[in-house]
Structure 1
Amino acid sequence: MKVQGKMFIWLAVFILVMAIVYGAWSKEATGTTALFMAFGLSLMIGFYLAFTARRVDTGAQDRADADVADDAGELGFFSPHSWAPLALGIGGALVFCAVIFGWWLAYFSAPLVLFALWTWVFEYYRGENRTQ
């Protein structure tokens, strides 16, 4: 994680320099603001990764003598058959379409978003405190 943290911090420095140059040359507020926001986001991610790297064990990507196989293993649990992300995506698209077609569409699509979010969060909590 140290490598990724350094990469994001250097990216943030680059974006800051580009934001200053862009703002000075173009005198355009929207793009300059977007670049400064990208700087802030890159800095937050870099700080988080660097901060977390101090508290976890050294990963294979942080060692110069590591092989590719050293980083193999289980990465975590990923749900193999969840329909909730699809429903959440459709509901979110409908809510954003409400800006174009009319706010009445948000009244019909917001319950779909809430139901899909609820389903996704509590997908594995059915029954008496079950995890599967």
Structure 2
Amino acid sequence: MKVERWVFAGLAIFLFVVTPIYWLSAHEIAGALALGLSGLFCLMISGYVLAVGRRIDARPEDDKLAEVIDGAGTLGFFPPTSIWPFWCAVCVALICLGPPFGWWISILGIAFGIWATSGWAFQYYRGEYQH
């Protein structure tokens, strides 16, 4: 996880350098605060990746002597086609349409959202993909 750590650490350094330059040139507190907090968040992610990278085994991407075959194998579980992400997106759209058109639409979206997320979470407990 060395690459990820250096990407976020480099981004944090860049943001910490740019923040005072932005403050001196624009005299805007909101933008300078956003840049500074973004730098802190990148530093936090870099620290998290550093801590996790020390606890897990080295990946083939981190080994300079690794070959392509070292990365072979199962990459993860990829679910088959599912309709539940579509229904979750519809529920999010309903929730977002609620404030401009009426709060009852948001309440309806939340109610359907409970149904949709439950269906997505339990899709492997019934039907064709049951195990």
Give the TM-score taking structure 2 as reference length: 0.82
Q: Which residue of 2 aligns with 1:60?
A: 60
Q: 1:38-75: CA deviations, max 9, x gaps?
A: 22332232222111110111111111122333222212
Q: Which runs of 5+ in 2 are unaligned?
A: none
How many corresponding residue pairs?
130
Q: Partners in 2 of 1:82 and 1:93 — Cα distance?
A: 19
Q: What is the CA distance between 1:126 and its match in structure 2?
A: 4.3
- Structure 1 residues 74 and 113, CA, compared in 2 at 3 Å: closer, same or farther? same
4+ residue segments displaced more than 3 Å: none
Deviation string 1:23-47 (CA, Å, 9 cap, x unpaired) is 3321223333332332233223222
Q: Indicate whether 1:47 and 2:47 are aligned.
A: yes
Change in Cα spacing, 1:50 to 1:79, as seen in structure 2 (3 Å) is: same
State the one-letter code of the partner of 1:5.
R
Query: How high is the sequence identity, in percent, across the aligned residues?
Result: 36
TM-score calculated relative to the size of structure 1: 0.81
Instruction: Provide the rounded CA distance (Å) in 2 between the counterparts of 1:123 and 1:37.
Output: 39
Partner of 1:14 in structure 2?
14
Instruction: Please state which structure has a larger fraction of its residues in helix.
Output: 2
Distance 2:112 2:59 in 1: 41
2:2 matched to which residue of 1?
Answer: 2
Indicate the larger mover: 93-102 or 5-14.
93-102
Q: Which residue of 1 aligns with 2:69?
A: 69
CA distance in 2, matches of 1:99, 1:38: 29
- Distance in 2 (CA, whole Å) between partners of 1:36 and 1:108 is 39
Closer, same or farther in 2 for the Cα pair 1:11/1:68, shift >3 Å? farther
> RMSD over aligned Cα, in angstroms?
2.3
Structure 1 distance, partners of 2:93, 2:30, is 25
Unaligned runs of 5+ in 1: none
**Structure number with larger C-alpha Rg:** 2
> Match of 1:79?
79
54-63 or 92-101: bigger deviation: 92-101
